[in-house]
Amino acid sequence: MSTILEGFSGFDKAAILLHIFGDSLAMTLFKTISESDMMKLRIRSRELQNISPTLKKAVMEEYYFKMMSEKYRDKEEADDLFGFLRGLDEEQLYCLLAKEEIRMTALALDQLTQESRMSVLNKMDPIRKNKIVVQIGSLKDIPLEAVISMARELEEKVSFIPGPKEFTRGGGKSVATILGEMSEDEANQYMEQLKVDNPELYDEVKKHFLSYEDLMALPDSMASVFWMNPDIDLEVMAKALKGFEEEIVNKIVEYLPSKKQAMYTPVDGPMSKREVDSARGELLGMLKVKFSSGEWNIEDVLGGGEMID
């Protein structure tokens, strides 16, 4: 290529490119030159319009080579080769790396935060996950040139990944949210049905769903803290305990401070279910705050929390 173009100056090559690209496209290439120089370039372009296709091809190849060299040189000079990965969410990262070669995937994951790395790894099947983890331990054997090459390859593939989309995929948490908007009886009916029809989903929902029954069955250590809450109104509590056996009511009352125990008065006579449900909902709301604030863990209520003697 260099031999064919030996007798052509840079100006001549620019004139040939002007002829190949056409005036409108070439204007974007030569937008920094003056109007008089552009006029000279057009004149020279007309003079060289009959050169052979081989020469035109050589000029194009030289131009493309220089353009790509400049592009890659800019990339090599970047301090953060894998910075583009940190602009992706976890869905996009998985989409990019799910079927990528093991070494490439391991190298990419090693550039991420521990949280993002584990989130993507946990979506992989166990065999692939194991191979990736092992490969991460051998990344030091990859030469710098290969690292740069793999970074470029991944960056090019990123452009084909769909942009981030916000949506949910249902699951236990979504079901629990829906049940939380239902009455206690209706929610319990759904839970009983789930327990029979789909035990796995039932277990998942229970990780996110608290019922009044859970409140009444709190472990002693948690129950003593909850019922000692000074914000609990004794009248609301009495309504919420309406219908429970005396033994259960007495056990709950024993958690109260001594002064409140003496003041507690059970509700005599019939009471509308609406009032009872409203009182129970108020107490359940106070319980949910304990979990939403992170003070308590729902697994401790379900009996799944680890106990240490």
- Helix, coil or strand: residue 301: helix
Q: 66 CB contacts (<8 Å, ≥6 apart)?
A: none
CA angle 261, 266, 272 (to 5 degrees): 145
From CA 87, how far away is CA 107, in angstroms rounded?
Answer: 17
Check residue 303 and give its pLDDT.
Answer: 57
Q: Containing H/E element for 135?
A: helix 126-136
Half-sphere exposure of 185 (CA within 13 A, CB side): 5
Dihedral-angle region of residue 120 (phi above 0 means left; psi in -120 to 50 means alpha; beta otherwise): alpha
**Residues in the chain, total:** 309
Residues 6+ apart with CB under 8 A from 213: 188
Q: Domain 83-158 belongs to what topology? A: Annexin V; domain 1 (1.10.220)
Backbone angles phi, psi at 149, to 5 degrees: -65, -45
Distance CA 137, CA 11 (A): 53
Per-residue pLDDT tens, the chain, 309 aa: give them. Answer: 456 666 677 778 877 877 787 776 666 666 667 777 778 878 888 888 888 888 778 877 777 777 665 555 554 445 678 888 988 888 889 999 998 999 999 999 999 999 999 999 999 999 999 999 999 988 888 888 888 888 888 988 887 777 655 545 567 888 888 888 888 888 889 888 988 888 888 888 888 888 888 889 898 989 999 999 999 999 999 999 999 999 999 999 999 999 999 999 999 889 999 999 999 999 999 998 888 888 888 777 765 444 434
Domains 83-158 and 210-302 equal at CATH topology level: yes
Q: Looking at residue 76, what is its pLDDT?
A: 47
* Three-class DSSP category at 99: coil
On the 0-12 / 13-18 / 19+ scale of CB atoms within 10 A, 237 is: buried
Quick one: which of 307, 278, 302, 276 has its CA closest to 291? 302
Q: Domain residues of the chain, as ranges? A: 10-77, 83-158, 210-302
Cα(222)–Cα(295) distance, integer angstroms: 11
CA-closest candidate to residue 93, choices 158, 159, 147, 137: 158
Q: What is the pLDDT of residue 108?
A: 93
C-alpha 158/C-alpha 153 separation (Å) is 9
Spatial CA neighbour of 235 closest among 255, 215, 265:
265
CATH number listed for the domain at residues 210-302: 1.10.220.30
Count the helix, strand and coil residues of the chain and give each as a percent rounded to the nearest 5. Answer: 65, 0, 35
pLDDT at 79: 64
